[in-house]
Structure 1
């Protein structure tokens, strides 16, 4: 307990390196699983305060390996929030979103923790909108009862998330633009906001254009509240990156999707499978014929003797 108290003392003073060392020394004197959990929490907290995301992830993993964690939902929520924050620092936004979406609402029981439920909701929603596919978004965000309870702390983020999922992109992007000045005050999120905002807009454009075979750029520009020239440049960038399979008629300002002929693909796949099956059957028949006519290369007597000599009894 002395090392734990010393770690708390250094942490409150802002001496995070000494705090981390004190928490790590505590590990040698732990006698129960609960002691190990609190040691790992302290080391994780100090590592994140130092900006050392790798150390934080390491101690989160050590804490999650303790069997007693199953009986500590608040501690589990803290580990998920801390791991999400560490992944955010490492710019691994997809992994961060999965961690934040797994945060339990009981995290609110300890308001002094590094990440509050409101923070987890904001970080998780933004990272999910930027890097989740539609199916993963539905599973981890929309239908996740625990994360839905966490989202209740920030109604505007919840409205933005559901709006973007329901293809109300203009409404969702408008909410994001309105929240940007406040989000830029967050010390953990500020340096990632430009990347996340750009990726969220790109994902929204991809999702908007996906169902259409032909689409006027004017309607896309209206939906995203920008001009035709700007939306054309954005779509051209997405086409160049391979995220949108389409071509742009610059003269008539129309986007034409490049649809693959599914019927032709099915026939081609069937023919390829048939050829592979035919080759396999011919090979089997040839082998059978060679064996029947005794046209096979058998191992020599000396080779058999050598094999028996070196084989294990």
Structure 2
């Protein structure tokens, strides 16, 4: 089946900007034959509007021509635009390099820093990413304030992400996090968390990626949309969490995360996936998951790990389903997980072998038996009653204490001589009572 996005491609592409948008559209064109033409047309338009990358423009038009052949309307290579851009670029690069040399001769540090930044931005727009990165890295020696260091780091990080150099991304995220004023800049912190999340995704470290995306502030908005959109933060964070978190972590770090709920509101389908999984509505969960999976296969960062993510999520759901029971009928479980008994048995056997489930399978009767002793319901009730009784005792004690305080009563423990006198009076009183009782008995006789 040809994967199709659940939303209109033009709407999806509008989340992004510049080279990041083009990059994603190129990926979609390479993955979907039905969407190839539309994706290439959008990429061509963005290339012409937001970059000065003539070579990329030519490649995209040629790809579209190869796809369509003699069919349809194919945009012609616009020689006038190419000529104009190339002529302007030649003058601009000469001007920028002349300025840089003048600033270096005069040793004006701030001007040198800005000149390297301008030269890097120009090369980035032309598609010379390696050259752009070299210029951004040269800015480092001329940064004075913490804000200048942060700006330089973000330029390096963005360029390194597009180049796929994630070791450099991690290095410069660390540099940015060490700047003194970073703790007060929520938007920059959000960008850094996103960058680290993508770095972890590239290494298939799903749990580490989830941790980073769940820490992203909603202040991010569309400020980093050349790399990532808020909807992506919701998807990457939630799905990686489903694949790796246990129930307690899922509740504490995802469901109770007020900041991340704002991201989930942007993606209702992902939000419902999380709720269905947590509340064990597996039928709805897997039905929704199957509808969403094709979108992930078109995603630039998810497509290479979709199979691993799907396997992790399914394994966690199987473990979560069987954990409370001492025995499970496989035919009933197979209906819940939308599969047949034979395939389910193979999945459970794999989980037993990897010690994720402590159980054994009765292949003849098609029943899964837990091998680890589980607490029965009677033990649970007894434990609950005992805890309730303890709570009642503590509550009564506190109420008694409050009443005594209200009536200004206190219990004073006698000490020393007072205790001896009280003991003496108490003993004497008991002797008087005994003597009086004996006299009464004698009279009666």
State the TM-score, normalized to the length of structure 1.
0.81
**Deviation per residue, 1:258-295 (Å, 9 max, x gap):** 12478xxxxxxxxxxxxxxxxxxxxxxxxxxxxxxxxx
Which segment drifts farther, 75-84 or 104-113? 104-113
Which residue in the other structure is 1:172 paired with? 285
Give yes or no for contact 1:163–1:171 (8 Å, CA) kept in 2: yes
> How many angstroms does 1:23 deviate by?
1.4
Which segment drifts farther, 112-121 or 242-251? 112-121
Which residue in the other structure is 1:269 paired with? none
Q: Which one of the candidate residues 185, 188, 192 is aligned to 1:79? A: 192
> How many angstroms does 1:10 deviate by?
2.3
Give yes or no for contact 1:78–1:113 (8 Å, CA) kept in 2: no
Which residue in the other structure is 1:159 paired with? 272
Equivalences for residues 60-139 of structure 1 within 5 A: 60-110=173-223, 112-139=225-252
Give yes or no for contact 2:120–2:135 (8 Å, CA) kept in 1: yes
Which segment drifts farther, 252-261 or 31-40? 252-261
Task: Name stretches of at least 5 consecutive residues in structure 1 with no aligned partner.
Answer: 263-313
2:343 is equivalent to residue 230 of structure 1: yes
Equivalences for residues 16-95 of structure 1 within 5 A: 16-95=129-208
CA distance in 2, matches of 1:110, 1:100: 16
Q: Which one of the candidate residues 108, 115, 127 is aligned to 1:2? A: 115
Q: Which one of the candidate residues 346, 353, 357 is aligned to 1:240? A: 353
Give yes or no for contact 1:53–1:90 (8 Å, CA) kept in 2: no
CA distance in 1, matches of 2:314, 2:181: 42
**Aligned-residue CA RMSD (Å):** 1.5
2:298 is equivalent to residue 185 of structure 1: yes
Give yes or no for contact 2:210–2:237 (8 Å, CA) kept in 1: yes
Which residue in the other structure is 1:200 paired with? 313
Which residue in the other structure is 1:144 paired with? 257
CA distance in 2, matches of 1:160, 1:101: 16
Which segment drifts farther, 76-85 or 161-170? 161-170
The 1:105–1:255 alpha-carbon spacing in structure 2 relative to 1, beyond 3 Å, is same
**Deviation per residue, 1:159-182 (Å, 9 max, x gap):** 101211111122222212101111
CA distance in 1, matches of 2:116, 2:278: 48
The SS at the match of 2:361 is strand
CA distance in 1, matches of 2:253, 2:123: 38
CA distance in 2, matches of 1:13, 1:168: 51
CA distance in 1, matches of 2:177, 2:345: 48
> How many angstroms does 1:14 deviate by?
2.6
Give yes or no for contact 2:187–2:217 (8 Å, CA) kept in 1: yes
State the TM-score, normalized to the length of structure 2.
0.57
CA distance in 1, matches of 2:143, 2:353: 56
Task: Name stretches of at least 5 consecutive residues in structure 2 with no aligned partner.
Answer: 1-113, 376-445
Higher relative contact order (CA 8 A, sep 6+): 2
CA distance in 2, matches of 1:22, 1:152: 40
The SS at the match of 1:67 is coil
CA distance in 2, matches of 1:241, 1:173: 23
Aligned residue pairs, count: 263
Structure 1 or 2, whichever has the larger Rg, is: 2
> How many angstroms does 1:192 deviate by?
0.8
Q: Which one of the candidate residues 14, 31, 34 is aligned to 2:127? A: 14
CA distance in 2, matches of 1:7, 1:134: 46
Give yes or no for contact 1:4–1:23 (8 Å, CA) kept in 2: yes
CA distance in 1, matches of 2:313, 2:165: 27
